[in-house]
Amino acid sequence: MPMAIEMAAPVAVGERFARRAVFDADSIRAFATMCGDDIPLHHDDAFARRSAFGSLIASGPHVTSLMMGLDASWLTQRHDALGLGFEFRFVKAIPVGTALTLEWTVTGCRYKPSLAGHVVEVEGRAIDDSGTVYTTGRGANLVRARSAAGAEPAHDPAPTTTTGRRE
């Protein structure tokens, strides 16, 4: 059986990509509503002012969705890519009006024959202009050569072992 053809590494370790995001009251409420997060800290100004946070705060899925969207958008500019998994840590609540830089750095890129593509690992954070970190994350993505018109990438299937499992 022919072996899968390995493409050149699609990204370099150390590459960094980023975007700005502002967490205003309207976006905090809208995102929390859209994702079904109805706790008052994301919707009720009076309640939030009386809380330990002193104002509305963004929901966790809000910042993580923006970070994963940045990752997906950047990788798919040049390649076919999809996320394999992400994990996040919430370091500090994001109060209303906060402007953050969402950034990722490529920390690994290795070819995986059984997936016929590269596993690209990233580490990221959401940070304000003074250097305060609000959220950190790590992720892994499958990156393949760009396919034609939505078809599967051109590659031979990975060989199977004697047990019938892919390598």
More confident residue, 156 or 139: 139
pLDDT tens digits, residue range 74-122?
999 989 999 999 999 999 999 999 999 999 999 999 999 999 999 999 9
Q: What is the per-residue pLDDT for 165?
A: 38
Query: What kind and span of H or E run contains 69?
Result: helix 60-75
pLDDT category at 149 given cuts 50, 70, 90 is low
What percentage of the chain has pLDDT greater than the value 90? 80
Q: Report how far residue 2's alpha carbon sits from residue 158's, in angstroms, rounded to the nearest whole number.
A: 8
pLDDT category at 67 given cuts 50, 70, 90 is very high
Q: Is 124 exposed, middle or buried (0-12, 13-18, 19+ CB in 10 A)?
A: buried
Give the predicted TM-score (pTM) of the model: 0.83
Contact status, residue 136 vs residue 91, Cβ threshold 8 Å: yes
Kindly give the pairing relationship between strand 98-112 and strand 80-90.
unpaired
Q: Which range is least confidently modeled, 11-15, 28-32, 46-50, 151-155?
A: 151-155
Q: Report how far residue 135's alpha carbon sits from residue 9's, in angstroms, rounded to the nearest whole number.
A: 28
Q: Report how far residue 69's alpha carbon sits from residue 82's, in angstroms, rounded to the nearest whole number.
A: 11
From the centroid of its chain, how far is CA 148? 25
> Is the model's pLDDT at 3 over the cut of 50?
yes
